Amino acid sequence: ALVAWRWNDSESRGATSIPVLELGTQGDSMVFDRTELKARAGTMMKVVFHNNSRLVAMGHNWVLVQPGTEQTVAAAGAAAGPENDYLRPNDPNVIAFTKLSAPGESSSVTFVAPPPGNYPYFCAFPGHQAVMKGTLVVSAP
């Protein structure tokens, strides 16, 4: 006998869905189209980054770091090179990041939101960090 199992999609989706935050570049500019994202501490979340640039040399990524570590992470990342997405491997100051995306590409990362606070994010491509940045505002659960 053939037995088919069917999940109730609405129930399973509701139980397993996670917040998805999307952001991208403002066209060819070295600026995120959202400079503030919001999350609840301790919740699983997904960030989807879209590189909307059409310029061949405009690789971008999204990097979330511990407060006050942007310069340190950016400097170490520049030395790590493009093969490491301009991030020092296993950098303890990096909370989450997307891979370096070429123009027209998208990438994502799923992670648990950190404790309540304001967490900076930026593009780690050398020279972009100073202008391509924003804040993840994490509230209590």
Give me the CATH number covering residue 119.
Answer: 2.60.40.420
| Structural domain that includes position 34 | 17-139
- For the four alpha carbons of 122, 80, 46 and 118, in that order, the dihedral sign comes to negative
Domain membership of residue 114 (yes or no) is yes
Place of tokens 């690789």: 59
The rounded average pLDDT for each run of 10 residues, N- to C-terminus, in the chain (141 residues) is 38 65 94 97 98 90 98 97 96 98 96 98 96 98 89
pLDDT at position 16 = 62
Structural tokens at position 141: 């659960």
Domain membership of residue 35 (yes or no) is yes
Total number of domains constituting the chain? 1
Domain membership of residue 84 (yes or no) is yes
Domain membership of residue 96 (yes or no) is yes
Q: What's the rounded Cα separation, in Å, for the pair 131 and 70?
A: 12
pLDDT at position 57 = 80
pTM of the model: 0.87
Domain membership of residue 8 (yes or no) is no
pLDDT at position 55 = 87
